[in-house]
Amino acid sequence: MNPSPIPLNPQLEQIPVYQPGRPIEEVARIHGLAPESIVKLASNENPLGPSPRALQALQAACATVHLYPDGHAFALKARLAEKLGLTPEHLILGNGSNEVLELVGHALLRPGVDVVVSQYCFAVYPLVTRLFGARLITVPARNFAHDLAAMRAAFTPQTRVVFIANPNNPTGTCAPPQELRQFVESVPPDVLIVLDEAYIEFLDHPADFLPAIREGRSPNLLLVRTFSKIYGLAGLRVGYGIGHPQVVAALEKTREPFNVNRLAQAAALAALDDHDHVEQTRAINKAGLRQLATGFESLGLPYIPSEANFILVRVGNAHAVFESMLRQGVIVRPMDGYDLPEWIRISVGRPEENERCLRALQLALNR
């Protein structure tokens, strides 16, 4: 590729383009398949679809899309605050939780600053770190999970942010609550702990850090959550951060105006109270994890037990298996971009989708 005629930010040379799961439309076009015949289990989406209450709210909001959204998302923040036992000043909304992660970069990262992450961490953490010219310190994982003690030992005087996903994407591993609490308490007050809880609703007994934030005991802790997973609103891009009001106020200065659109705010507000949809999603996810794990065992494939809505399985040549499954109309996610070239990540689908995925996997492996 020829160099750009315009001088670019040199940090861009270190940054790859983020590669999402293949969309159904692209696979249908390339492989000559009917879109409705394709099963997508690549992006940890909700197999039940969006919350029915959210769909109703979307339909009602469509007539007002000629108006700008509430730039402060008053109604959504107020309901979220009520649900979490916090104030709206504890909350910041993002165009997906990824934007909240980027806001951390704007507020805290620059050349000369260190960021600590774990091996096999979510790909956006290194991207954000490098985008702002900070130095990335990657700590080896322990049994595919965060080694929290080693991460704490890796801190330097220049460390200002540590990113932790719990459960972790892409491994599905989860830190023991007491171990995670001890880690949070051990972190110096000038280091922001970004605890990514995108999949927290799938846990039966998660570590609860809301009291510490509510009581002001952990001003250097930012929880990051999303409406994309349990609520099934990935296409609308709504995420949020929960933290000390002073930290949130700083992040607000870096936020784009109107970053959460009008339809997204309406749908998220309605989804918050759709408890039936949440419980049905949790139930189908638990059953699906068991179904996939049983299938892997019957095929003799090693896998990592998951606490999220996806599961990592070792298949050998992951890219070849991925391509074979694509041709069969089943989209999964190869993990070579995460230094896991023998593994694929499979999102939990409906029972019939999981079964079709297992059949496609068996064919891809010639077993």
Q: What is the DSSP string of 88-109?
A: GGGEEEESSHHHHHHHHHHHH-
Angle CA(214)–CA(216)–CA(218) in degrees, nearest 5? 105
What CATH number is given for 53-271 in this structure?
3.40.640.10
Model confidence at 1, pLDDT cuts 50, 70, 90, reads low
Q: What is the 3-state secondary structure (H, E, C) of 268-295?
A: HHHHCCCHHHHHHHHHHHHHHHHHHHHH
Of residues 5 and 302, which shows the higher confidence score?
302
pLDDT in the model for residue 32: 87
Q: Return the structure tokens found at 116.
A: 């600590």
**Percent with pLDDT over 90 in the chain:** 89
pLDDT in the model for residue 2: 59
State yes or no: cis peptide before 257, omega within 30 of 0.
no
Asked if pLDDT for residue 345 goes beyond 60, the answer is: yes
Q: Return the structure tokens found at 161.
A: 């942010």
Q: Which amino acid is at 294?
A: T
Number of H helices, E strands in the chain: 13, 13
The order of strands in the sheet holding 192-196 is 91-94, 239-242, 221-226, 192-196, 159-165, 114-118, 135-139
**Percent with pLDDT over 70 in the chain:** 99
The predicted model gives 244-248 an average pLDDT of 97
Asked if pLDDT for residue 158 goes beyond 90, the answer is: yes
pTM above 0.85, yes or no: yes
Q: How far apart are CA 208 and CA 1, in angstroms?
A: 49
Q: Return the structure tokens found at 53.
A: 């209450």
Give the list of residues 6+ apart from residue 171 with CB closer than 8 angstroms, or none: 120, 141, 144, 145, 304, 306, 312
DSSP state letter for 350: -
The predicted model gives 170-193 an average pLDDT of 97
pLDDT in the model for residue 15: 78
The strand pair at 343-347 and 333-334 is best described as antiparallel
Q: Are 235 and 261 in contact (CB under 8 A)?
A: no
Q: Are 112 and 150 in contact (CB under 8 A)?
A: no
Angle CA(315)–CA(317)–CA(318) in degrees, nearest 5? 65
Residue entry with tokens 């070579």: 336
Q: Considering the chain, tell me which residue range(s) the CATH 3.40.640.10 domain(s) occupy.
A: 53-271
Q: Considering the chain, tell me which residue range(s) the CATH 3.90.1150.10 domain(s) occupy.
A: 20-49+275-365
Q: Return the structure tokens found at 177.
A: 């609550």
Q: Which amino acid is at 362?
A: Q
pLDDT in the model for residue 130: 94
Give the list of residues 6+ apart from residue 298 with CB closer than 8 angstroms, or none: none
For residue range 12-29, list pLDDT tens digits in order. Answer: 877 777 777 788 888 888
Q: Are 136 and 126 in contact (CB under 8 A)?
A: yes
Angle CA(17)–CA(23)–CA(25) in degrees, nearest 5? 130
| Domain 20-49+275-365: CATH superfamily, name plus number | Aspartate Aminotransferase, domain 1 (3.90.1150.10)
For residue range 277-321, list pLDDT tens digits in order. Answer: 999 999 999 999 999 999 999 999 999 999 999 999 999 999 999
Q: Return the structure tokens found at 26.
A: 């692209």
